[in-house]
Homo-oligomer: A and B are copies of this chain.
Amino acid sequence: MNFADIIAQIRLKKSYLCIGLDTDIEKIPSSLQSASNPQLSFNKAIIDSTRDYCVSYKINTAFYEAQGVQGWEAMEETVKYVGNTHFIIADAKRGDIGNTADQYAKAFFDTMNFDAITLAPYMGKDSVDPFLKYQGKWSILLALTSNASAADFQFISNDQNFPLYKSVISQAQKWGTSKNIMFVVGATKTEYFSEVRKLIPEHFLLIPGIGAQGGDLAEVSRRSMNSSCGILVNSSRNIIYASSGDDFAQAAASEARKMQIQMSD
């Protein structure tokens, strides 16, 4: 899905919602636990009930890897089930050197048909380049993350008083463009959005941290949007675990719809 396609979907649905499929086997309603693949059954029900309200799904690889081969199968099948109507993100936070990065790119863009992958930038350009070779695919680099200990390293300033997260944003602009790179900026870091937008007015931002982590949708949107929207706001737990009962899919739809309505204003 290219830049224009994403924008078109956002306009069509009046939504820039990304739903995070952090599907924890222990939080799946008991009625689904006897399914041949509970994670997949849960995801299918969530996708069926929410696909009109969101433009993107983000699959958090950790929750599938924890279930071994069956989890990996659930991930592969979930990507297929979503299809090409939504922007599908592998929240994998991979990051390794050249020949290994080639293999990760193959895994997520070729073996599976994700549109995008999140990447940790610690190893620099070598670890991102192999992903940028894929036409129509996206690399989403961690810049300023939503967690408390983001400050351990991301605010370390260089001799020009440029914190690490800005160095990442600044360097990455030499590697790719606003048509194949996005950045993660956490919803809990709203005071930094204006700084980020000075460096990258055009790029899409993937913004996690709404809801469970404390970010506020209205404030986040106001501070981070650009003229073509330019943001994907992720919500995971608030939507997919809105109910722990058999009405989980309807409850998820209701939460997703609430966010979509807020976004349509």
Residue of B nearest to A143 (CB): B122
A125 nearest CB across to chain B (Å): 4
Q: B171, A167: Cβ atoms under 8 Å?
A: no
Q: A19-54 CB contact bits vs B (8 Å, 1 = yes)?
A: 000101000000000000000000000000000000
A168–B65 Cα distance when bound, in Å, is: 27
Q: A63, B147: Cβ atoms under 8 Å?
A: no
A121–B94 Cα distance when bound, in Å, is: 12
Q: B122, A121: Cβ atoms under 8 Å?
A: yes
A120–B99 Cα distance when bound, in Å, is: 18
Does A127 make an interface contact (CB < 8 A)? yes
Does A12 make an interface contact (CB < 8 A)? no
- A62-B103, A73-B69 known; A124+B111 contact, CB < 8 A: no
Interface size class of A (residues with CB under 8 A): 35 or more
A123 nearest CB across to chain B (Å): 5
Residue of B nearest to A128 (CB): B149
Residue of B nearest to A161 (CB): B159
Does A115 make an interface contact (CB < 8 A)? no
Q: B147, A126: Cβ atoms under 8 Å?
A: yes
Does A229 make an interface contact (CB < 8 A)? no
A167–B154 Cα distance when bound, in Å, is: 11
Does A112 make an interface contact (CB < 8 A)? yes
- Which among A100, A150, A159 has the highest number of chain B CB atoms within 10 Å? A100
Does A8 make an interface contact (CB < 8 A)? no
Additional A-B contact list (12), CB under 8 Å, known A93-B95, A120-B122? A60-B100, A68-B107, A95-B120, A95-B122, A98-B147, A120-B123, A121-B122, A122-B122, A122-B142, A123-B150, A125-B152, A153-B168
| Nearest 5 Cβ contacts at the A-B interface | A124-B152, A124-B149, A62-B103, A65-B107, A125-B149
13 sampled A-B residue pairs with Cβ under 8 A: A62-B104, A66-B103, A66-B107, A91-B96, A95-B120, A122-B153, A122-B154, A123-B147, A123-B152, A124-B147, A124-B149, A126-B148, A158-B158
Residues of A within 8 A of B (CB): 22, 24, 60, 62-63, 65-69, 72-73, 76, 91, 93-101, 103-104, 106-108, 110-112, 120-127, 142, 145-154, 156-159, 164, 167-168, 171
